[in-house]
Amino acid sequence: MAKIEKKIKTITIDADKCNGCRACEIICSAFHAAPKYSSSNPARSRIHVISHRLKDIWLPVFAGEYAPAECMGRDKYVIDGKEYDECGFCRASCPSRDLFKEPDSGLPLKCDMCESDPPLSEPMCVQKCLNDVLIYEEREEEVEDEEVKLEDVEIGLESMIDKYGLQNVMDTVSRISMSKKG
């Protein structure tokens, strides 16, 4: 298979510096609103600060890949005597919890590193974290050529099918198309 150059984007999270203000959540939701910046709502954010103030836990986690099924087991971390919630570090939007789901539709949310045209210098959460908790880095890596990715519509539909079942989605699509045709 052919090798191609791939841009790797990472956000390093220096959680020790986090003061728990959630500016990252607000700006993320505002940036991804349509039209851009027309609203803010941390529940729509693709980054979330998991916090237990009295346990000294402030942990920004940004949304990763959608997982249609729960893991077979759960994990729990204890670091420096602080116990983190089950699956606390996991970035997936999954059926076991309500994190990283659109509050209206329940559809999964995923961080897109604020891809936009023209591109931003850094994702918005990184720009608005003035305490340098979030550090953005880009690097080039050589990887094997991947198969063609599913289009966005397909990703959306697949998760709808996972959530509601194929028949329900097909029924709904045909009902909507009937009504559109009038």
Applying CB under 8 A, the residues found at the interface with another protein are 19-23, 26-27, 30, 33, 35-44, 52-56, 58, 85, 103, 128-131
Polymer length of the chain: 182
Among residues 31 and 66, whose Cβ is nearest to another protein? 31
User: What Å distances lie between residue 69 and 34, 94, 120, 123, 168, CA to CA?
Assistant: 29, 6, 33, 29, 19
| CB closer to another protein, 40 vs 161 | 40
With beta carbons less than 8 A apart as the criterion, state whether 110 and 63 touch. yes
Q: Minimal distance in Å, beta carbon 127 to another protein? A: 8
CB of 161 to another protein, least distance (A): 25
For residues 1 and 34, what is the distance between their CA atoms, to the nearest angstrom?
39
**In 3D, which of 126, 138, 120 has the Cα closest to residue 8?**
138
**SS3 state at 3:** strand
Tracing tokens 């941390």 back to the chain, one arrives at 42
Min. distance of Cβ 20 from another protein in angstroms? 5
To another protein, the closest distance from the beta carbon of 26 in angstroms equals 5
Q: Between residues 96 and 169, which has the closer beta carbon with respect to another protein? A: 96
The tokens of 71 are what?
Answer: 């893991």
Query: By C-beta, is 94 or 133 nearer to another protein?
Result: 133
